[in-house]
Amino acid sequence: MKSSRVFASLFVLAGVTAAITACTSTEISQNPTVNTVSGPSASTANSIYDFKMKDIDGKEVSLGDYKGKVLLVVNVATYCGNTPQYEALEKLYEANKDRGFAILGFPANEFGQQEPGSNDEIKKFCTSKYNVSFPMFSKIVVKGDGIHPLYQWLVASAPYHDDVEWNFGKFLIGRDGKVIGRFNPKVKPDEPEITKAIDSALANSK
Catalytic residues: 80
Task: Enumerate residues 6+ apart whose C-beta is below 8 A from 88.
Answer: 188, 189, 190
How many CA atoms does the CB half-sphere of 67 hold within 13 Å? 9
Helices 119-130/85-96 angle, 10° precision: 70
Residue 48: left (phi > 0), alpha (psi -120 to 50), or beta?
A: alpha
